[in-house]
């Protein structure tokens, strides 16, 4: 089994690693794309879009990319920052007055964008299907009290960051996050990217294969800790991504459907100074905001050393040693998908797949692909 698409000869080793993973079954279906200063130097895909191996992974296959979606939601907010409609140093309540309830009047936009708001999940009782109702579940977040002092530490906003950022987008722009991404990001850039998935795209959505259980015994953790409250508020289920209800919901932290090519082009906006083929979304000043460090601690939810800027993670060698400790921003999704931006090299890397690997941030596969790409570029 070999991959399809094209890659510059210097990326032959990368293609070999992908082909080996497809052949061994380590990957079911996957895609990798690399944008280098506006040139697509890698655009590879291969494998199968379903567990039964009846549907090949095609050029236009799209897949749920889990928390890589958070990068899309962050970019939506940053475009509003660029237009002077949102200030990351303003309270969320400036744009969404109801959010000030229960001690959240001092929570700033940048706190939500850096996972430091103290609101990393929903208070119980709640089940996954509840969050498909955007309006009701967002109102619940407005009423909640923070679970720790806002701005003091990160606690990964695993499932709700998109609801929080999406409501800011809606209040400021008058459009839902889904509409805003379609009209202001995907449309102008001409990319195959959407929050959720439309009915007409169901036949090209890859089937998700859930990972092994998380290596976290929540029974051994304080039930009142942000970790337990986040992972149970609500409990995640990877199988949900294969349902129509999931695809039709607006889950701005979890359910973007896209491919590596689209992600690499979209986030080359950050790597290339804010403009892609005449479409300008950001300025240098807005991009610089991303690199304002907001937290560096053992994350209260994930239990790993993490470092967050505004909207994206920044390199933390203790957790992701394959990403150099340079001016890089990135994030990834449950199971291993990843998009990383290297502005000093005008380099953007994206990887997506449907067979989820263990863990929440990156995987052995994403580490291998990124390492091969960086070796080839440098």
DSSP H helices, the chain, are 12-24, 69-82, 109-113, 134-143, 161-173, 177-180, 187-189, 226-231, 244-248, 260-271, 284-290, 364-377
pLDDT at 308: 98
Signed CA dihedral, 74, 112, 355, 317: sign only: positive
pTM of the shown model: 0.98
Residues of the chain under the 70 pLDDT cut:
1
Q: Buried b / exposed e across 330-367, counting CB within 10 Å, b at 16+? A: bbbbbbbbbbbbbbebbbbbbbbbbbbbebbbbbebbb
pLDDT at 220: 78
Judge contact between 229 and 122, C-beta under 8 A. Answer: no
Judge contact between 77 and 55, C-beta under 8 A. Answer: no
pLDDT in tens, 1-16: 689 999 999 999 999 9
pLDDT in tens, 222-234: 889 999 999 999 9
Reduce the DSSP state of residue 236 to 3 states and report it. coil
- Where are the strands (E) in 237-321, listed by range? 256-258, 275-276, 279-280, 295-298, 305-308
Q: Domains in the chain, please, with CATH? A: 4-377 (3.40.710.10)
pLDDT at 221: 77
Tokens of 238: 């990877």
């Amino acid at each position: 089994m070999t991959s399809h698409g094209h890659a510059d000869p210097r990326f032959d080793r990368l293609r070999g690693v992908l082909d080996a993973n497809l052949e061994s079954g380590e990957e079911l279906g996957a895609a990798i794309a690399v944008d280098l200063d506006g040139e697509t130097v890698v655009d590879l895909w291969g494998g199968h879009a379903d567990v039964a191996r009846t549907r090949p992974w095609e050029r236009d296959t799209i897949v749920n990319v889990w928390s890589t979606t958070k990068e899309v939601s962050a970019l939506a907010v940053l475009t509003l920052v660029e237009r002077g409609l949102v200030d990351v140093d303003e309270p969320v309540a400036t744009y969404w007055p109801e959010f000030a309830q229960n001690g959240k009047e001092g929570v700033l936009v940048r706190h939500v964008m850096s996972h430091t708001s103290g609101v990393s999940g929903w208070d119980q009782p709640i089940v996954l299907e509840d969050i498909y109702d955007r309006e009701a579940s967002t109102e619940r977040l407005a009423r909640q009290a923070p679970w720790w002092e806002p701005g003091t530490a990160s606690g990964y906003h695993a499932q709700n960051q998109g609801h929080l950022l999406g409501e800011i987008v809606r209040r400021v722009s008058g459009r839902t996050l889904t509409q805003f991404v379609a009209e202001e990001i995907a449309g102008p850039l001409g990319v195959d990217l959407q929050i959720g998935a439309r009915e007409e795209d169901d036949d090209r959505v890859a089937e998700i294969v859930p990972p092994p259980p998380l290596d976290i015994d929540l029974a051994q953790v304080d039930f009142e800790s942000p970790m337990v409250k986040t992972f149970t508020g609500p409990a995640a289920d990877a199988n949900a991504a294969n349902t129509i209800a999931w695809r039709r919901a607006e889950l701005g932290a979890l359910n973007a459907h896209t491919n590596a090519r689209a992600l690499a082009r979209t986030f080359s906006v950050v790597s290339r100074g804010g403009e892609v083929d005449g479409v300008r979304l950001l300025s240098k000043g807005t991009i610089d905001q991303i690199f304002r460090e907001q937290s560096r601690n053992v994350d209260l939810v994930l239990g790993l050393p993490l470092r967050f800027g505004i909207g994206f993670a920044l390199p933390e060698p203790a957790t992701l040693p394959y990403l150099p400790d340079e001016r890089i921003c990135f994030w990834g999704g449950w199971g291993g998908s990843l998009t990383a931006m290297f502005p000093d090299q005008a380099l953007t890397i994206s990887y997506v797949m449907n067979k989820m690997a263990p863990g929440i941030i990156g995987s052995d596969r994403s580490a291998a692909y990124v390492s091969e790409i960086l070796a080839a570029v440098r």
